[in-house]
Every structure is written in structure tokens, then in C-alpha cells.
Amino acid sequence: GQQVMQIPQYQHVQEGEDFTTYCNSSTTLSNIQWYKQRPGGHPVFLIQLVKSGEVKKQKRLTFQFGEAKKNSSLHITATQTTDVGTYFCAKNTNAGKSTFGDGTTLTVKP
Amino acid sequence: DAGVTQSPTHLIKTRGQHVTLRCSPISGHKSVSWYQQVLGQGPQFIFQYYEKEERGRGNFPDRFSARQFPNYSSELNVNALLLGDSALYLCASSWATPLSGNTIYFGEGSWLTVV
């Protein structure tokens, strides 16, 4: 079954609005990774978070790892049409297995 | 520099047939992982290989097998295809195992349709 839950499943925003997707786990995570997949494309690695409470920024994207290391979020400030796609979080286990959430699909209306 | 390359890009197979999908990682990368992505879902982990050894296996039946060659390229084999095997099969490479924090690069994928 699903071990990382993402919400919301879909998000439609007006260009310029902010967007946030959340990733939740019932167990403590050793790390969390975020990916973006454009329609018809393949997942592209964005970032990995490892430390409790870690916050990393990439231009308009802010990634956060919860203090308990059971949740993470991706926030996009002032969305643009180029931000359209599905955003996935994924966790890695010690066995080398990666478990992906089902993603949040973002659409942006110009 | 070439990214992760996968072949074929698209293929159609009949139920019961066998398929082999191929992946060449980025030069210098020693880890290859395989994922199955069904429309509307996230990628599902199938296998990870590092230094030619299997390092991880997902919850897939024994019809699925894989191997990594001395040049670090990899093959995914699926026997006795079922309609439910229709999906995008993604290969990902990294310099070391994903757990070590290295960036992971996905290929464009192989679209498999089973009819």
C-alpha cells in the first residue's frame, strides 16, 4: 500500500497565485526527495531533504522537512505557466527501495 | 553529454509474450533503478542495481527480472505479459545508491502497451 500520501491530488491556480503540496508519512523518514514531471515527460529530480526541520529554496520553490521527519512540503511562490506538471515526493529505505507518492498535479491558468 | 537512454521508446505486445527493455545510464553512473508508472499514479519501484548486484526489489511478481552488465547498462525483462503490465517503464541512474543523496536522473521511459 501507499506509504507516502500526497495532498491535494489536483490543484488549479491562477498565474501569480501561490501553490503548496504536502507529503505525509506514518513512519519517520530518513530522507525525502521531490520530483517534477511535465505532461508526457519523465520525473526530474528537484531536491533531497535529510535533516529534521530542514528548509531549502530554489528560486520560487521552497522545500521543507518536518521536525518529526514525517512530513514535507513544497511551496511555489507566484506560480507561472512553466510550473505546470505533477509534483511527486519519494522516500528511500535502507534497502535502496524508493517509494513515490501519487503526486499533486498543478495546472496554471494564464 | 548523453542522459539516461532507454529503448525502445514505444512498443506493443500481445498477452503472454515476453518483453526486454534496455537502459544505458549516464556515463560514470553505477546505479540503475527500474520503475513502473501507470497513468495517474506515481512511479512504482521494481528493482535497483548497483555495481552489477541487485540491491533492492519492489513488490512485483517473479515474471519481472532484471540484470546489470559490466558496462552498467541494464535490462528489464517481463515474461507472460498481462494487460495490467501496460505502463511507462522508467529507468533511473545515479552515481551511487539513491540513499547516499546523489541526484537521480530518469530516462524518457519505454511505453509498453499489452493487447
The whole-number pLDDT of residue B99 equals 62
The whole-number pLDDT of residue A95 equals 57
Q: Quick one: average pLDDT of B79-89?
A: 98
Start-to-end Cα distance in chain B? 37
Q: Quick one: average pLDDT of B85-105?
A: 83
B81 min Cα distance to partner chain A (Å): 23
How many structural domains does chain B have? 1
The whole-number pLDDT of residue B96 equals 76
- Distance, in Å, from the CA atom of B90 to the CA atom of B6, rounded to the nearest integer, reads 8
Kindly state the percentage of chain B with pLDDT values over 90.
78
The whole-number pLDDT of residue B98 equals 63
8 Å CB contact of A96 and B108: no
Ordered by where they begin, the domains of chain A are: 4-109 (2.60.40.10)
A85 touches chain B (CB under 8 A): no
State the residue range of the domain holding B60.
Answer: 5-114
The whole-number pLDDT of residue A5 equals 95
Give the one of B42, B99, B109 whose C-beta lies nearest to A103's C-beta: B42
Average pLDDT, chain B: 93
The whole-number pLDDT of residue B101 equals 64
B62 min Cα distance to partner chain A (Å): 17
In what helix (H) or strand (E) does residue B36 lie, and over which residues does it extend? strand B31-37
Among residues A73, A72, A56, A66, the alpha carbon closest in space to that of A19 is found at A73
Query: In order along chain A (110 residues), what is the average pLDDT of each group of 10 residues?
Result: 85 98 94 94 94 97 97 98 97 75 96
The whole-number pLDDT of residue A1 equals 45
